[in-house]
Structure 1
């Protein structure tokens, strides 16, 4: 992908700000029942390798997010419809080039810096606890997601690596979405079923080539069933409708053979402490497991688990502490490729992360430390220690 043009960020911000201002109601009405809401947040990370990895050093990287939400019923009389748009600007370095891991160490790192239109969709209420969404869509916003893992910075806690590494250039997740349609039936707090059809070629305005409308690479289909209450749980299956390059097998002509990417996952999360005392610490736990074909990516599966402690200190309501462990299991074909290259492959790459966040004035400050074992899927790799500091500033 190529970087966005220098004026892209200004154009993106101006479009969202002016769009909200043009249709916004007077301030008193907005405070009572807002038709349009506009928010922006700037995140800056300094992430460095202090031991192991490719080399020691640090990188600065950042993420500017702008979001516009609108009630189309109030704004236009379009009953039961709402609009969501978001834009991103990402800059800075690539800390994983220092760490040398397969799964990454910072969830705002991107391969191509610049501005992008990330999401732009309309959701329509169909009645009977059913909704239909269509437009540019972030798959991980509703599928294969756990709220309790949201504070952790390592990318596998966002979506499992066995799905994140699929598709021509990754599925429709940060930082590039794609055209999609999603149908949900039921209540997220009790029981629901949701399914989405997503363009397999994930790219958007700001990426090289812009939004793909040809469907030349087919689509990704995904279905998730789940329920809420004290324990939220879900199971899901996903499959591409077109074959992709196999990571090892070749045709008689020496070209990559074609294989079908597919997989499944399960997740659960819930509060285990603090429900009886809302003024004290609240502890949530989460666990996730995913499997895939192992023919089109380096991963045949993996798991993530951890906990989130909210209101760690009674006098600091915004204090949070989180710990997580993740493993990405290498497929037999990925391990065979490493053996052919003269390396001794491990069975998995593993990471442990501890992070703490608290608000100081308008800013959220979040120190972070990670330990990665078998980095790059190599049995003899030295343990990698990564430290980081995240600062989040709400702009409006």
Structure 2
């Protein structure tokens, strides 16, 4: 059984004392509506706020305290912090623009690394790990809806994962793999237009009847500046091309199914050629497809069990991961004495592409065929505005690298939200 070193004991000791203080000092919280899929960075769920005011402000804090206690690159503990400020405006009331609303989302991230420094995995243990300190606008868009809300358009700085490839059920989990699928999330020169780097985009959506929704978006193919990750670059460069993504979403009672496809219009460097400094770097297409679903398996949303799955594939030479699958279950009110708590277990597997495995082979050793993660998670609803999530993650074959042992991670996520 792995032992905690002195630094880990000191960090977790402080956390325990802080949680005890919070528990003793927490006042009765105001009632908040049931959660929706509005998110803070890194797939963190925000409470839904009733649209009683033309301008709604939300503040959200997410903190991940993580300890690598075995395997990976090395042992250690990190505390990652992320703060968001979100303003939603009804422009019909404020500016006389019918059926039009706007959103501005700014976040600060302290840039603490965990997967990059300690575990070495490709799926990223914490969904709020940004790599470098950032104070950045994540989203800033305007949306106009049709007279019957059957169609709408958005334009501006846009997080693709706010509406595409996202499920409410999987938002409980901390690992990035349970947000946007790994094969899509790791695509492109600087990732797709999602946390922590987004780009200008256009999104259209239309509802066909009461059950089917079609949506499509075009975003700048290279968000911000990959060479200078702390730089804020909002614009469209000629050689960036675009990320095109489309999705069909079907709701059938307690079951929701959707599938999508995506492609970058500009060709990408072959990942192996680029990583090994080849004299000739081949240009290849980067594209993929996915299918995803969730269902109420027992009880209802107020108390019961939900499940989700995802399957995805991506271009084998343009991406480090060529395939992805995940499966998970979440229980609301598993303990009768804690009806608002959520408990979950999920597993994700990212299959290495031929280019990704070849890179590891050149560096020495036989690469694993893929990287897997298993996460056990329990969210304690301390109050309507405050959540505490102890969790355990076990990462198999981090980074496909044979020199890294399977990693055991102990973690605690703290979430707090304030709405005005």
Task: Work out whether the TM-score is over 0.5.
Answer: yes
1:238 aligns with 2:262: yes
Query: For residues 322 and 156 of structure 2, what CA distance do their matches in structure 1 show?
Result: 30
1:352 aligns with 2:371: no
Structure 2 matches for 1:342-381, cutoff 5 A? 342-361=364-383, 362-379=385-402, 381=404
Aligned length: 363
- Give secondary structure in 2 for the equivalent of 1:350: strand
The corresponding residue for 2:318 is: 296
- Give secondary structure in 1 for the equivalent of 2:365: coil
1:98 to 108, 115, 118: 118
- Is contact 1:200–1:215 with CA below 8 Å preserved after alignment? no
Query: For residues 185 and 50 of structure 2, what CA distance do their matches in structure 1 show?
Result: 39
- Is contact 1:65–1:86 with CA below 8 Å preserved after alignment? yes
Structure 2 matches for 1:76-95, cutoff 5 A? 76-95=95-114
Change (3 A) 1:126 1:353: same
In the TM superposition, what is the alpha-carbon distance from 1:187 to its structure 2 partner?
Answer: 5.9
In the TM superposition, what is the alpha-carbon distance from 1:293 to its structure 2 partner?
Answer: 0.8
2:247 to 224, 227, 230: 224
Tell me the alpha carbon deviations over residues 164-185 of structure 1, each in whole angstroms, 9 at most, x when there is no partner.
1112211111112110000001
Change (3 A) 1:252 1:39: closer
- Is contact 1:373–1:381 with CA below 8 Å preserved after alignment? no
Query: For residues 357 and 50 of structure 2, what CA distance do their matches in structure 1 show?
Result: 57
More deviation, 329-338/318-327 = 329-338
The corresponding residue for 2:345 is: 323
- Is contact 2:331–2:342 with CA below 8 Å preserved after alignment? yes
- Give secondary structure in 2 for the equivalent of 1:203: coil
- Is contact 2:111–2:132 with CA below 8 Å preserved after alignment? no
The corresponding residue for 1:214 is: 237
Query: For residues 93 and 31 of structure 1, what CA distance do their matches in structure 2 show?
Result: 34
- Give secondary structure in 2 for the equivalent of 1:391: strand
Q: TM-score w.r.t. structure 1 length?
A: 0.87
- Give secondary structure in 2 for the equivalent of 1:44: strand
2:131 to 85, 94, 111: 111
Structure 2 matches for 1:242-257, cutoff 5 A? 242-249=266-273, 254-257=279-282
1:171 to 192, 197, 207: 192
More deviation, 208-217/135-144 = 208-217
The corresponding residue for 2:142 is: 122
Query: For residues 307 and 105 of structure 2, what CA distance do their matches in structure 1 show?
Result: 29
Query: For residues 209 and 364 of structure 2, what CA distance do their matches in structure 1 show?
Result: 49
- Is contact 2:73–2:404 with CA below 8 Å preserved after alignment? no
In the TM superposition, what is the alpha-carbon distance from 1:127 to its structure 2 partner?
Answer: 3.8
Change (3 A) 1:102 1:31: closer
The corresponding residue for 2:74 is: 55
In the TM superposition, what is the alpha-carbon distance from 1:253 to its structure 2 partner?
Answer: 8.0
Change (3 A) 1:236 1:207: same
Query: For residues 395 and 191 of structure 2, what CA distance do their matches in structure 1 show?
Result: 23
- Give secondary structure in 1 for the equivalent of 2:270: strand
Runs of 4+ in 1 over 4 A off after TM superposition: 249-253
- Is contact 1:188–1:226 with CA below 8 Å preserved after alignment? no
The corresponding residue for 1:5 is: none
- Give secondary structure in 1 for the equivalent of 2:118: helix
The corresponding residue for 1:265 is: 290
1:148 to 135, 146, 169: 169
- Is contact 2:167–2:294 with CA below 8 Å preserved after alignment? yes
- Is contact 2:343–2:378 with CA below 8 Å preserved after alignment? yes
The corresponding residue for 1:69 is: 88
In the TM superposition, what is the alpha-carbon distance from 1:248 to its structure 2 partner?
Answer: 2.3
Structure 2 unpaired stretches of 5+: 1-48
- Is contact 2:92–2:101 with CA below 8 Å preserved after alignment? yes
Query: For residues 391 and 209 of structure 2, what CA distance do their matches in structure 1 show?
Result: 32
- Give secondary structure in 1 for the equivalent of 2:177: helix
Tell me the alpha carbon deviations over residues 181-230 of structure 1, each in whole angstroms, 9 at most, x when there is no partner.
000010696101111001112129x9415212334301000110121131
Change (3 A) 1:44 1:188: farther
Structure 1 unpaired stretches of 5+: 1-29
In the TM superposition, what is the alpha-carbon distance from 1:34 to its structure 2 partner?
Answer: 1.3
Tell me the alpha carbon deviations over residues 360-390 of structure 1, each in whole angstroms, 9 at most, x when there is no partner.
2453111010001111113564211011111
Query: For residues 112 and 159 of structure 1, what CA distance do their matches in structure 2 show?
Result: 21
Query: For residues 186 and 108 of structure 1, what CA distance do their matches in structure 2 show?
Result: 32
- Is contact 2:68–2:408 with CA below 8 Å preserved after alignment? yes
